[in-house]
Amino acid sequence: MKLIIAIVQDEDATHLISELMGEGFGVTKLATTGGFLRAGNTTILAGVEDDRFDACMAVIERVCKSRKQIATSPVTMGGATGMYAPYPIEVTVGGATVFVMSVEQFVKI
Ligand code: 2BA
């Protein structure tokens, strides 16, 4: 068994969960925050049997879209002022950031 930890954009989360549930996968949704954008995203936990791993990854790949977002990044203004001036940068977020772990034991009590 594998544990899939997928960090996805909030915009994709509802659709992804219903697609995964519709295909019989068990999922848990966590409300999370990205360290770089400091904006909300969604982390999906899915425990899947090895023979269904590819099917689960295929759903994630199909549903999760990449999008461009504007982030505000601070830059130091030169000289002795030590002041910070925010400036916009464009980043491409997603489709999904996925970690896959082998599950040693799965117990439901
Ligand atoms: P954030 O940390 O808010 O990052 C959002 C997007 O900003 C990233 O999209 C990437 O395009 C960009 N970005 C992140 N760090 C950057 C940096 N130091 N310099 C320039 N651009 C940067 P994704 O790569 O698709 O990541 C989406 C979210 O997935 C991240 O949100 C974070 O919550 C999670 N994530 C990504 N890599 C991770 C990792 N190695 N470990 C844990 N979580 C990760």
Least confident of 11-15, 53-57, 69-73: 69-73
| Distance (Å) from CA 76 to ligand 1 centroid | 22
Residues 13-21 have a mean pLDDT of 98
pLDDT value for 103: 98
Using the atom order of ligand 1, give the atom closest to the CA of residue 33.
33
Q: For residue 28, which amino acid is it? A: T
Q: Which atom of ligand 1 is nearest to the CA of 91?
A: 11
CB 98 within 8 A of CB 4: yes
6 lines ligand 1 (CB under 6 A): no
The predicted structure's pLDDT at residue 106: 96
Closest CA to 87 of 72, 76, 101, 107: 72
Question: Of the ranges 6-20, 67-81, 86-100, which is most confident?
Answer: 6-20
CA separation (Å) from 15 to 21, 56, 65, 94, 104?
Answer: 10, 14, 11, 15, 30
Residue whose structure tokens are 């977020």: 93
- Whose structure tokens read 């996805």? 8
pLDDT digits (tens, 9 = 90+) for 22-33: 999 999 999 999
Given the CA of residue 97, which atom of ligand 1 is nearest to it?
A: 29
Check residue 74 and give its pLDDT: 60
| Pocket lining: 98 vs ligand 1, CB cutoff 6 Å | no
**Average pLDDT, integer, range 73-84:** 64
pLDDT exceeds cutoff 60 at 76: no
Query: What domains can be seen in the chain, in order of their start residue?
Result: 2-66+94-102 (3.30.70.120)
- Report how far ligand 1's centroid is from the alpha carbon of 36 (Å): 6
| pTM: predicted TM-score of the whole model, two decimal places | 0.90
Q: Cα–chain-centroid distance for residue 69? A: 15
